[in-house]
Amino acid sequence: MIEVKNLVKRYGNHTAVDNLSFTVDKGQVLGFLGPNGAGKSTTMNIITGYISATGGTVTVNGVDVYEEPEEVKKMIGYLPEFPPLYPDMTVTEYLNFVADIKKVNKAGKKQMIADIMESTRITPVSNRLIKHLSKGYKQRVGLAQAIMGYPELIILDEPTVGLDPKQIIEIRELIKELSKNHTVILSSHIMQEVSAVCDTVMIIDKGKLVLNERPIDLSTNLGNTGGMKLCVKGDRNIILDALERIERITNIVEHEPTTEGIMNLTVNCDENEDIREEVFYAMCDAKAPILEMQSIHLSLEDIFLKVTAGDGIGDLNLDGFQDKKEVSEAIDENHAEDVQNKSEENLVEEEDNSNAGDL
Amino acid sequence: MLAIYKKELRSYFTSMLGYVFIAFFLIIIGINFFYENLVNGYANFEYTITNVTFIFVLLVPILTMRLMAEENKQKTDQLLLTSPLSAGAIVVGKFLAVFTIFFLVVAVTLTYPLILKQFGNVPMPGAYASLLGFSMLGGAYLAIGLFISSLTESQMVAAVITFFTFLFTAFMDGIANVIPSNNKTAFIFFSVILIIICLILYFMMHNLIISVTIGLIGEIGLAVIYYVKPTLFDGLIIKVFNWISVISRFDSFQYSILDLSSIVYYISIIVLFLFLTIQVLKKKRWS
């Protein structure tokens, strides 16, 4: 449905989007993930035709955004970072106006507005002025605006910002509901959100694609650390002695005990090894009962940090990436660039901020 | 386009702005009408109209300042520019809305010559020709105001710049008369203008080569003309100033002349500035 090829966007010397390519199939929910200033909003703005790319192409349903922007805009509903609302209008007036500019059929307009207000739960505030609404309601009016006319493609830039937890769940439900009939792209820097609603996750950092995977694969492929947390009852020396005899354990970290006579430990081994059984029997022989045992899996959050950490890449254990050649390449590239640009980095970031204001 | 038009029109009447503009304008026209036609007893309504043209300088900035600047500030331009509307439809819709507000004033004023007619002989063609010119002049000012509003995010900045632009064009007549008309002054004047244009270009494009090239080519061109045919420069500044002076074109209407060239001039100004506004909107894509 959407095909993005070698997308580049430069602001002066600063590259906001750097050779980004991906495709989104019909009915898919794609999550854009990245730290602030990673180029998420810029990419979305380019897809919606709000700004142009420096290089590369974007096609939606085979129509090029650059060649026929108006055709593409008909197929897209867009909720930008700041919901574009007119504070002096009531919600109904506003949605009416949006329906008009999106050329919604006159006959079905009233019904559609009512339906959309119902599904975004803004019917109770339909006659209030937008400037009197709370942030959460404003966000939902913005969302209602994006789905007006039921476009094939819905692009949401951080749709749940400013909502309370209950509303966040409601909006996620709504997005799931929408994804049945629409293709959805959403951006976020909240991991749970992306893993809750998206089929595919794309992690972008400094305008580059770092990872493109299903959320489940992410945590199984990258989440393994080989470590585990242990809670063992017994004598300290005996336990440590028993553990040290297991050869595959690479290091043991002892934590402050919370209860007298119970040891809290973190045990590490190689990422691909499984030492749980061995540890169990060792403790068994030492007559030191294991009270708790928990494998340490990186949460999506940690993976996110791990993948996007600029300076931390050197410490990153790249073994896990070996089977994904392109990924490690992307990271290496990033890394090389980091080293080169380290001195310029601050300067560029400042420029980035000033540019972000312009968007 | 219709959606934008309706939205703009409504926003003028949901805020005080539309009412204030219309009321204030009508009061000014009313006072002048009372003074010129009723107290002084002139039958020519065009005198009244000519007297009130100065008020555009004050009132038009108030009306046009929010047109685009507010959208830029609220980021609602993002909604408009990602909707299937063309930039042309947005700009023309907005212009028509603001022109409608202004035309409401003219529509009320249309009745004044009829009122006068009850009391004697009134030169109707002259009166209505001046009203036609007045509408066109207003349209030209509104188009300039719309353009300036599209350049900024701040309504205040838009209003102030529009105000000074209008003030400048209003004084242009007077300035043109005192400027020496010899060709050397003209050469220096245009060279300075060229340098200013190149500086603006440089700040907008951050491209030294292009701006220097344009500057050099222009400067060489000016120098060649100056040495080969210096008479071309004679009185050129005055011509240019008069061309920019929107208000001086209204003079003929004052003498009950329906000056077609002025009408064409005003329409060209409207078209030019609407076109420029559309370009500003389109340029956003390339920022």
pLDDT in tens, A46-84: 999 888 888 888 998 888 888 888 888 889 999 998 899
User: Can you tell me whether residue A221 is helix, strand or coil?
Assistant: helix
As a whole number of angstroms, the distance between CA A265 and CA A257 comes to 9
Beginning with the edge strand found earlier in the chain, give each strand of the sheet holding A14-24 in spatial order: A14-24, A2-11, A55-60, A63-64
pLDDT tens-digit series, residues A33-48: 877 778 888 889 999 9
The residue whose two tokens read 């929010």 is B66
| Chain B residue set in contact with A, beta carbons under 8 Å | 2-4, 6-7, 10-11, 14-15, 74-86, 206, 284-287
* pLDDT in the model for residue B88: 92
Of the candidates B23, B101, B11, the one whose C-alpha atom is nearest the C-alpha of residue A93 is: B11
Rounded Cα–Cα distance for residues A215 and B234 (Å): 75
Q: Are B134 and B46 in contact (CB under 8 A)?
A: no
- The yes-or-no verdict on residue B85 having pLDDT over 50 is yes
φ/ψ of A290, rounded to 5, equals -85, 125
Tell me which residue in B76, B81, B84 faces A86 most closely, judged by beta carbons. B76
Are the Cβ atoms of A84 and B4 closer than 8 angstroms?
Answer: no
Q: Is A294:A267 a contact under the CB 8 Å cutoff?
A: no
pTM of the model as a whole: 0.79
Distance from A116 to chain B by nearest Cα, in Å? 18
pLDDT at A267: 83
Q: What is the pLDDT of residues B93-141, one digit of tens each?
A: 999 999 999 999 999 999 999 988 888 888 888 899 999 999 999 999 9
| Residue B283 burial (CB count, 10 A) | 12
- β-bridge partners, A156: A79, A186
At A149-186, the pLDDT tens digits run 889 999 999 888 777 888 888 888 888 888 888 899 98
Chain A residues with beta carbon closer than 8 angstroms to that of B82: 48-50, 73, 76, 78, 80
For residue A3, pLDDT over 50 is answered with yes
Q: Tell me how close the Cα of B35 comes to any Cα of chain A, in angstroms.
A: 40
- B chain contacts of residue A102, beta-carbon cutoff 8 Å: 83-84
8 A C-beta contact, residue B103 and residue B97: no
Task: Calculate helix-pair angle for A276-285, A236-244, nearest 10 degrees.
Answer: 140
C-alpha distances in Å from residue A170, one per residue of A120, A184, A193: 8, 16, 12
State both tokens at A189.
């820097």
Q: Which residues contact A248 (CB under 8 A, 6 or more apart)?
A: A269, A270, A273, A275, A278
Q: Which candidate from A48, A51, A101 shows the least CB-CB separation from B80? A: A101
Q: Per residue in A241-252, is it b (16+ CB within 10 Å) or e — as a string?
A: ebbeeeeebeee
Q: Which residues are CB-contacts of B93 (< 8 A; sequence separation ≥ 6)?
A: B1, B2, B3, B4, B5, B8
Task: Summarize pLDDT for B217-228 with one digit per residue, the tens.
Answer: 988 988 888 888
CA dihedral A190, A192, A195, A198 (to 10 degrees): -50
Q: State the complex-level ipTM.
A: 0.84
**Cβ pair A100:B3 closer than 8 A:** yes
Sheet holding A262-269, edge to edge: A249-255, A262-269, A224-233, A290-297
CA-to-CA dists, residue B131 to A101, A196, B107, B116, angstroms? 34, 65, 10, 15
pLDDT in tens, A303-356: 777 776 654 443 344 333 333 333 434 444 444 444 444 444 444 444 444 444
Q: Are A290 and A232 in contact (CB under 8 A)?
A: yes
pLDDT at residue A219, rounded to an integer: 62
Higher pLDDT, A329 or B64: B64
Q: Would you list the domain boundaries of chain B?
A: 2-175+237-286, 182-234
Query: Rounded CA gap, A102 and A244, in Å?
Result: 69
DSSP notation for A324-359: -HHHHHHHHHHHHHHHHHHHHHHHHHHHHHHHHHH-
Q: Cβ–Cβ of A76/B82 closer than 8 Å?
A: yes
Residue A91 has pLDDT above 90, yes or no: yes
